[in-house]
Amino acid sequence: MTDVPLTAPGAAATATRRRLNPTLSRYLSAFRTPRGVIGLSILGIMVLAALLAPVLFPGGYDQQGSNALTGPSAQHIFGVDEFGRDIFIRSVYGLRVDLSLILTAVPLSMAVGTLIGLAGAISEWLGAGLQRVLDVVIGFPGLILGICLVAILGPGWFPLFLTILIGGLPTAGRLARGAWLTQQGREYVLAARVLGVPPRKLLVRHVLPNAMDAIVVNGAVWMVIGVYIEAGLSIVGLGVQPPTPSIGVLLNNGLRFVTQAPTYIIGPGVVLLLLSVGFSLISDALNEAVNRR
Amino acid sequence: MSSRTPAWRTRLIAAAASVALLTTAACSAATDSGPGGGKDTAAGPVRDGGTLTVAQASDADPGSFLKTSVGNILSEYTVLETLTLMDAKTGKPKGVLAKSWKLAPDAKSIDITLRDDVTFHSGRKLTARDVIFTLKKVRDPATGAAGQAIAQQITSMKAEGDHELKLTFSKPTPNVFDLFETAPILNPATYDDYAAGKNVDGTGRFVWKSWTPGGRIALTKYAKYRDAKNTHLDKINIQVINDPTAIVSAIRSGRVQYGVGAAALDARSLSKQPGYALLSSGGSAIPFSMDVTKAPFDKKEVRQAVQYAIDRRRIVQQVEGGHADATSLPWKKNAVGYDAGQAKHYGYQPDKAKKLLAKAGVKGATFKVVTLNTPEATSIFQIVKNNLAAVGLNAKPEVLSATEYDGRIAKRDMGAPAVQMMNSNALLPASAVTSRPEFVPNDNLLHVKSPAYTKLVKNVSDASTPAAQKKALHAYNAYFLDQAFAVPLITRPTLTVRSTSVGGIAPTQTGFLNLGQAWLSEPKG
Amino acid sequence: MIRFMARKAPSVLFVLLASSVVAFALPRLAPGDVAVSLAGTDPSAANVAAIRKELGLDRSPVVQYWDWISGLLHGDLGQSYRLHRSVTSLIGDRLGSTVELAVFATLLVLVMGTALGVLAGSTKRRWTRATLDLGNSLLVATPAFLTALALILIFGVYHRWLPVSGEVSLLENPSIGIQYLILPAFALALSPSGIVARLLQTEMTKVRNEDYVDLALAKGTSSRQITLRHVLRNSFGTAVVAIGLEIGTLLAGAVITESIFNRNGLGQLAVSSVQSRDFTVLQVLILGVVFVAVICQIVTEMVLATLDPRIRLGAQT
C-alpha cells in the first residue's frame, strides 16, 4: 500500500512523456503527406502575406482613387473597387482579419470546449449540467448565433470572434466528455481511482491523450467553418464594418456591384476558396495521420 | 475557382437550369439580355382609362395632410389641392386654386383671387372661408403643420366675397408660397373626419374612396372636376409595402407601375432594364456639418480645411453614379439668387486644406462623426474618412438609425462634434434659414450664434423683391461658405423607378407626387 | 417509439425553454434604451416614459418574459416596436418566400442527392466513381454562399439567363417566380445534395454486400434490377433521413442565400430586425429557428433509431 502509489505515478509520467511525443510526431507526420504539404504551404503563404501586408503594401487598405470598378489589369490584378481601391491589397489585408479571427478563436474554443467536457471529473453533476448548456448552444446554427451576438454587441470583429468561439464549444465538449465517459469505465482508471490518483492526473494522463486526436482534427475542421461564419455574417452585412476589409466584407461589396463589375467578387472568392481548401487539406491530413496508427 | 469545379458539375447545373428555363421561357423571361433600356425611355402615348397601381413604404396618414407626412406622399396632391404650387423649372409659384394674386411690394400683405369653379368631392363649392379655415389650422401649433412658422407671421385674414381674400403679415413674408405649397385646402365641415380616413374630402382630380390601414388606399376619378377631361385614369390603388426591396420586386414583377421608398441603388439598377425609367423628385443636400463650439471645429480654418479636403466629384461619381451635383450650396438651383460661382466655392484642394490646418495649429486630430446607417451615407463616409485621413484628420463614425438620428437633431445634441447630415433641400432659402436646424440663428444645431449671422438670416427671410432676395442670399452664402459649418458635399434628387407604361407623374417642390394627370399607355382593368 | 419520445421529452423541453430564455434575454442585453430610440424626434422624459409604459417595458423582465411565453402558447407572437405591426403578420408576409425557397431546395436535394448517390453507388467503372467522389467532396465542402456567387456569375452575369436579385411569388406569377427561385434554390441545395449522395452511396455499398444481394446475383438477376429492386429500396430510408437532417442546415443557409439574392424572406427579416434592434421580432425568429432545428433533430434521431442503431453514431457529427 505504501509502495504502489509512489511508483505508479512515476511510471505513468514517463509513459505519458513517451506517449506524448509520438502523438506530436504523429500530428507532424500529417504535414509530410502530399495533402498536408499542399495545405500547409497554401496557408503558410497566406499567413506570411497577411503578416507582411503592412510591409508589402505600406499604403494600407484604404487607398482610394478616381477610377472605380475597373476589371483586373497588370497594375491591379484583382481590379479596383467602387472607391478605386486595389482589391488585391484589400484581400491581403482582409486575410489579416480572417486569420486573426480563426487562429485565435478556434484554438481557444477547442481548449475551453475540452475543459467543459472534462468538467465531469470535478463533479458529475457539473459535467452533466454543462453538457445540457452545450445542447442549447448546438440548437443555434452558427449564423443564428452570430445574429444574436451582433444584436447585443453591434457588428464588428469581437462578435465574430465570440461566434466562432462559442459555436465550436459543443463538439469539442462532446468529444472530451465522450473520452472521459469511456475512460471512466476502463479498469485501469477505476484502479487508479481506488489507489487515490487525483482526477486531474487521470485526466491529463489517460483521458486527454485519448480525446486529443479527435479534438485536433475537429479544430482543423472548425477553422474551415470559422472562415465560412465570417464570410456569411459579413455577406449579410453583420460582419466587420467598413472601411476595414475582411474576405466576407469584400464579397459583400462585390455582390452589390456584381452586374457592373462581375470580376470584383472573383478575387476575394478565390482567396476564400484557397483559405478553406488549405484548412480542409490540413484537417484531412491530420485525420489520416490520426487514423493511421 | 473554375478549375476546381469539375466540368460535369457545371454541365449538370447548366442542364438543369436550361430545362427549367425551357419550361418557363415560353411564358416570359424575368431577365432581358437586350442592351440596357436606359433612363431616357419615355412613357408611351397618353391614353385614357385604366387603373394605376403604385406603392409606398409608409402607411397613409390622412390626419396629417398639413404636416406633409410621408404617408401621404402619393395621395396628398392627388386628392387635395393647394392655392399655388412651385413650378419645378422656374422655381416660381403657379396658380392651382388661386386664379391670381398680388404680393405687396414690401411683402407684408397678399391679395388672392380664387377660382370660382372649384367644388369639393362632397359637392360644395370652395370659398375663401375654407382657405382661411385651413390657414388657421396651419397657424395653430397644436396641428404641427409644415407651414406653421410662416403662418404665424399672418396677422389678419379677410375674405372679400366668396372668392377673394387678403392676408397681412407681421413682417415681410415673400416666402408665403412655401406656406401655400404645404397647405392643401381642407373642408371645414369634415375636418374632424380626416384622421380616420373614412371621409377625406378634397377638391383634387381623384376622390379618396377607401383606405385599409396598413394595406391600400383606393382612389377614383372625380367625374365633376373642373377639368375632368384631362384626368386620364379611372382608378388609382396605392399599396403599402413597407419594405424597400419588396417595392423594387413589385415594380419588377409588374404588380405595381411605380413606387416610392425603394433604395436608390436598386432603383438605378432596375431603371437600366428595358421597360423601366428613373423619375427624380424632391431633393436632398448632404452636408458635412461641424459644431462650431467643439474642438477642433471651433476654429474656422479647420472647418474650411475639412471642406477643401473632400473630393466631392468622387462622391458624385462613385456613390451616386453621377446622379448628383458637387456643390457647396444647400439650395435648389432654381432658387432666386442662386449663384453658380458660390456653388463651386469648395473644390478639391487637399494642399490648401493642409495649409489651413497648419495655420490653425491642428495636427492629427481624432473626432467622432455621426452618420446614418443607410448604404448611401456609409459609402459617402468612406470617401470622407479617406479624404480627411489624407490631410491628417482621423474621423471615427458613429452610425445611427434614422430614429436615433432624428431624436438627436430634435434634442439639438448630436453627441459628436461633426455630423454627416441628410437634409431635404425643398424649401426656399427664406423658409429654410428660419426653420432648418442647421441654419436657424437661434438654438442652432451646430451652435452657430452671432449678431451678424442673425442679421443675414433676417435679410434672407425678409427680402421681398427678386433683387433684394438675390442680394440677401448672396451675402448669406458668403458668410455661410466662409464659416463652413454646414456646407453640403453634394445635392441630389430623390430617385425612384417607374414602369415606362406610366407617365405624367408630377413631382412637387417638396418631393411629393401628384398623380392627378398620370396615365397608362396600356390601360388595364 | 413512445419510450424513446418519453426519454427524449425532458431534454427537448429543457432545450426549448432555455432557448426561449436566451432568445428573450440576448437582444435585451444590447446597450441603449429602446424607448429612447423609439421616441425619435420627441425624446423628452415624459414621452420616453409613456412609450415605455405603452410597450410594457416598465415591468420586470420576469413578467415581460412570462407575458411573452404565455402569449406564444396562445398563438400571440407579440407586436413589433418599430413597425407597429403584429409579429404574426410580419412573419406571415415573409414566410411564403422562405417556404418557397426551402421547399424547392429540398426537392432539389431529394432529386440530385438520390441521383448522384445512386450513380456513385452503382457504377463499377473506377474512373467514373473517382470523378463522382471528387465532385461529391467538392459539393460537400462548398458552402451555399460560394455556390451562390459562382451561379450568379455564370447564369446571371456572363449569361443573362436568370435573374440574380429579387423575387416574385410563385402564387402570383409561377412562370416568372420559378426563374427567381432557380439560382437561390440550387445554391442552397448543392451542398446538402452532396451529403445525401455520400450517405446513400455508403449505404448502397453496404447493402450490396448483404447475402440476399449475392443470392439474387447468383440467381442471375441483372445488376440493374438488383440496384433498383434491392439495393435502392433498402437504402432509401437512409436517404430520407439524411434529407431530413439537412433541412436545419438548409434553413440557416437560407439567411445568407436570401441576402445574396435579395429575397425578402424570414432571414432578411431577422437581419433587418438586428439592424433596427426590433427585439420582439428577433426573439420569435430565434426561437423559431431553434424549434425547427430541434424538431428536425428529434425526428431524425427517432427515425434513425428505429431504422438502424448503427447509423445513429454517424449522424451525430
Residue C248 to residue A143, Cβ atoms within 8 A: no
C-alpha cell at B317: 461619381
- Tell me the pTM: 0.81
Task: Enumerate residues 236 to 275 of chain B having a beta carbon within 8 A of any beta carbon in chain A.
Answer: 265, 269
Residue B300 maps to a domain: yes
Assess C303–A contact: CB distance below 8 Å, yes or no: no
Residue C21 Cα, gap to closest chain B Cα (Å): 27
**Per-residue b/e over C166-194, b at no fewer than 16 CB within 10 Å?**
bbbbbeebebbbbbbbbbbbbbbbbbbbb
Cβ atoms A179, A210 nearer than 8 A: yes
What cell numbers appear for A96 in the block?
489579416
Whether residue C305 has pLDDT greater than 80:
no
Say what the pLDDT of residue B87 is.
Answer: 87
Among A97-111, B135-149, C40-54, the range with the most confident prediction by mean pLDDT is A97-111
Q: How far apart are the CA of B7 and the nearest CA of chain C, in angstroms?
A: 9
- Of these ranges, B48-62, B232-246, B292-306, C256-270, the one predicted with the greatest mean pLDDT is B292-306
Sign of CA dihedral C60, C62, C67, C68: positive
CB atoms within 10 A of CB A187: 7
Nearest to B13 by CA among C152, C60, C70: C152
Average pLDDT in the A106-121 region?
92
- What does R_g of chain B's alpha carbons equal in angstroms? 25
pLDDT attached to residue B1? 33
pLDDT higher than 80, residue B342: yes
Closest Cα of chain C to A42: distance in Å?
Answer: 17
User: Are the beta carbons of C277 and A280 separated by less than 8 Å?
Assistant: no
Q: Is the pLDDT of residue C315 over 60?
A: no
* Interface contacts A/C by beta carbons within 8 Å: 120
Q: Distance between CA C130 and CA C123 in Å, rounded? A: 10
B328 in Cβ contact with B481 (< 8 Å)? yes
C145 contacts A232? CB cut-off 8 A: yes
What value does the CA radius of gyration of chain A take, rounded to a whole number of Å?
A: 23
Q: Percent of chain B having pLDDT more than 70?
A: 91
- Which pLDDT value is given to residue C41? 60
Phi, psi of B492 (to 5 degrees): -155, 150
> Is there a contact between B523 and B437 (Cβ–Cβ < 8 Å)?
no
Look up the CATH number of the domain holding residue B93: 3.90.76.10
Which partners does chain A have (≥3 C-beta pairs < 8 Å)? Answer: B, C
Quick: pLDDT tens for B172-229: 998 899 999 999 999 999 999 998 888 999 999 999 999 887 778 999 999 999 999 9
B357 and B391 in contact (C-beta within 8 Å)? yes
Q: What is the CATH number of the domain that holds B416?
A: 3.10.105.10
> Percentage of residues in chain B with pLDDT exceeding 90?
60
**Which of A83, A153, A276 best tests the B interface by mutation, with the highest count of B CBs <10 A?**
A83
Write the single-letter amino acid at B328. S
Minimal Cα–Cα distance from C209 to chain B, Å?
Answer: 29
Query: Which residue in chain A has the smallest CA separation from B265?
Result: A256
Strand positions, DSSP E, B61-153: 84-86, 93-95, 98-103, 109-114
Q: How far apart are CA B194 and CA B190, in angstroms?
A: 7
How far is Cα B50 from Cα B55, in angstroms, rounded to an integer?
17
Nearest residue, CB atoms, C186 vs list B13, B373, B404: B13
pLDDT higher than 80, residue A23: no
Which residue range forms the structural domain that includes residue B447? 283-493
Asked if A270's CB is within 8 angstroms of B1's CB, the reply is: yes
Are B365 and B479 part of one and the same domain?
yes
Q: Among partner residues B1, B317, B387, which is closest to A273 by beta-carbon distance?
A: B1
What's residue B11's pLDDT? Answer: 37
Give the C-alpha separation, C224 to B343, whole Å: 81
Residue B525 pLDDT: 40
For chain C, say whether A150 makes contact (Cβ under 8 Å).
Answer: yes
Per-residue pLDDT for B20 more than 50? no
Span B95-124, average pLDDT: 94
Given a cut of 90, is residue C159 above it in pLDDT? no
- In this complex, do C166 and B245 lie within 8 Å of one another by their Cβ atoms? yes
CB pairs under 8 A between B and C: 105
Amino acid sitting at position B161:
G
Task: Give the model confidence (pLDDT) of C268-278 as tens digits.
Answer: 888 888 877 78
Taking the Cβ of residue C8 and every Cβ of chain A, the question of whether any pair is shorter than 8 Å is answered with no
Q: Does B374 touch chain A (CB under 8 A)?
A: no
Inspect the interface and report whether the beta carbons of C153 and A262 lie closer than 8 Å: yes
pLDDT of residue B85: 94
Mean pLDDT for the stretch of residues C238-259:
77
Q: Which CATH architecture has domain C93-276?
A: Orthogonal Bundle (1.10)
CA–CA separation, B129 and B17 (whole Å): 67
Cβ neighbours of A148 in C, within 8 Å: 22-23, 26-27, 286
State whether residue B290 is helix, strand or coil. Answer: strand
Please give the residue that has the higher pLDDT: either C113 or C2. Answer: C113
- Does residue B256 belong to any structural domain of this protein? no
Predicted pLDDT of residue C19: 86
For residue C194, give the C-alpha cell: 452532396
Q: Which of A83, A266, A273 sits opposite B382 (nearest CB)?
A: A83
Q: B81, B63, B61: which is closest to B71 by C-alpha?
A: B61
Q: If you average pLDDT over every residue of chain B, what do you get?
A: 87
B302 and B451 within one domain: yes
pLDDT tier at B4, thresholds 50, 70, 90: very low
Residue A54 pLDDT greater than 90, yes or no: yes
Report the distance separating Cα B488 and Cα B330, nearest Å.
6
Q: Report how far residue C86's alpha carbon sits from residue C76's, in angstroms, rounded to the nearest whole number.
A: 9
Which of A141, A235, A280 shows the shortest C-beta gap to C260? A235
Amino acid at A103: L
Mean pLDDT calculated for residue range A48-66: 93
Min Cα separation B314/chain A (Å): 6
Residue range A108-137: average pLDDT? 89
Residues A264 and A256: their CA atoms lie apart, in Å, by 10
Q: Does pLDDT of B57 surpass 90?
A: no
For residues B405 and C276, what is the distance between their CA atoms, to the nearest angstrom?
Answer: 13
- Mean pLDDT of all residues in C61-72: 89
In a domain, B333, yes or no: yes
In angstroms, the CA B126 to CA B522 distance is: 35
Contact B253 C85 (CB under 8 A): no
Give the residue from chain A lying closest to C137, CA to CA.
A280
For B358-371, how does the pLDDT look when each residue is reduced to its tens digit (9 = 90+)? 999 998 899 999 99
Q: Which residues pair with B400 in a beta bridge?
A: B372
Which of C37, C85, C166 lies at the smallest CB-CB distance from B248? Answer: C166
Burial class (CB in 10 A: 0-12, 13-18, 19+), B35: exposed
Q: To the nearest whole angstrom, how far is the Cα of A143 from the nearest Cα of chain C?
A: 7
pLDDT reported for residue A10: 42
- Name the residue facing C164 among A139, A154, A258 (closest C-beta): A258
Q: Do A255 and C286 touch (CB under 8 A)?
A: no
Q: Which of A193-207, B261-275, B289-303, B432-446 shows the lowest per-residue confidence on average (mean pLDDT)?
A: A193-207
Q: Are A177 and A117 in contact (CB under 8 A)?
A: yes
- For A99, the enclosing helix (H) or strand (E) is helix A87-117
- Judging contacts by C-beta atoms under 8 Å, the chain C residues touching residue A231 are 143, 145
Among A158-162, B58-62, C163-167, the least confident range:
C163-167
Cβ A238 vs Cβ C271: under 8 Å:
yes
Cα–Cα distance, B135 to B157 (Å, whole number): 9
Cβ proximity of B493 and B323 under 8 Å: yes
Report pLDDT for B394. Answer: 95
Q: Cell numbers of C173, please? A: 406569377
Range with the largest mean pLDDT of B397-411, B479-493, C90-104: B479-493
Q: What pLDDT does C47 receive?
A: 77
Q: pLDDT value at position C313? A: 38
For residue B300, what pLDDT is reported?
94
CA distance C139 to chain B (A): 9
Q: Are residues B180 and B292 in the same domain?
A: no
Closest listed residue to residue A144, CA positions, set C119, C248, C153: C248
pLDDT score of C42: 65
Per-residue confidence band for A47, with pLDDT thresholds at 50, 70 and 90: very high
Task: Name the pLDDT band for A163 (thresholds 50, 70, 90).
Answer: very high
Task: Count Cβ neighbours within 10 Å for each residue of B94-125 and write b for 16 or more, e otherwise.
Answer: ebbbbbebebeeebbbbebbbbeebebbeeee
Model pLDDT, residue C108: 92
More confident residue, B365 or A31: B365
Q: Which helix (H) or strand (E) holds B476?
A: helix B466-483
* Cα C206 to Cα C114: distance, rounded to the nearest angstrom: 16
Please state which of the ranges B306-315, C183-192, C216-225, C262-271 shows the lowest mean pLDDT.
C216-225
What is the count of structural domains for chain B?
Answer: 2
Higher pLDDT: B379 or B212? It is B379
> Taking CA C144 as the corner, what is the angle to CA C142 and CA C147, rounded to the nearest 5 degrees?
65
By the 10 Å C-beta count (0-12 exposed, 13-18 middle, 19+ buried), B350 is classed as: middle
Pairwise CB contact (< 8 Å): C15 & A135? yes
Rounded average pLDDT over B13-37: 42
Which pLDDT score is estimated for A7?
Answer: 38
Q: Is any Cβ of chain B less than 8 angstroms from the Cβ of C288?
A: no
Q: Structural domains in chain A?
A: 25-56+79-291 (1.10.3720.10)
Q: What is the pLDDT of residue B330?
A: 94
**Those residues with Cβ within 8 angstroms of residue B257's Cβ, 6 or more apart along the chain or in another chain:** B52, B53, B54, B251, B498, B499, B501, B502, B520
CA-to-CA dists, residue C56 to B158, B203, C40, angstroms: 50, 43, 18
- What chains are in contact with C, requiring at least 3 Cβ pairs below 8 Å? A, B
Mean of the per-residue pLDDT values for chain A?
85
Q: Say how many C-beta atoms besides its own lie within 10 A of residue C108's C-beta.
A: 19
Whole-angstrom CA distances from A201 to A11, A15, A20, A37, B376 are 13, 13, 15, 36, 60
CA A129/CA A177 separation, integer angstroms: 12
- Chain C residues whose beta carbon lies within 8 Å of the beta carbon of residue B403: 37-38, 40
Please tell me the predicted confidence (pLDDT) of residue B21: 39
On average, the pLDDT of chain C sits at 80
Residue C255 and residue A144: Cβ atoms within 8 Å?
A: yes
A225-239, pLDDT tens digit by residue?
A: 999 999 999 998 889
CA of B313 vs chain A CAs: smallest distance (Å): 9
Q: Which residue of B has its CA nearest to A64?
A: B386
Question: Which of B136, B171, B188 is at the close of a domain?
Answer: B188
pLDDT category of residue A2 using cuts at 50, 70 and 90? very low
Tens digits of residue pLDDT in B382-416: 999 999 999 999 999 998 877 778 878 888 889 99
The grid coordinates listed for B107 are 411683402
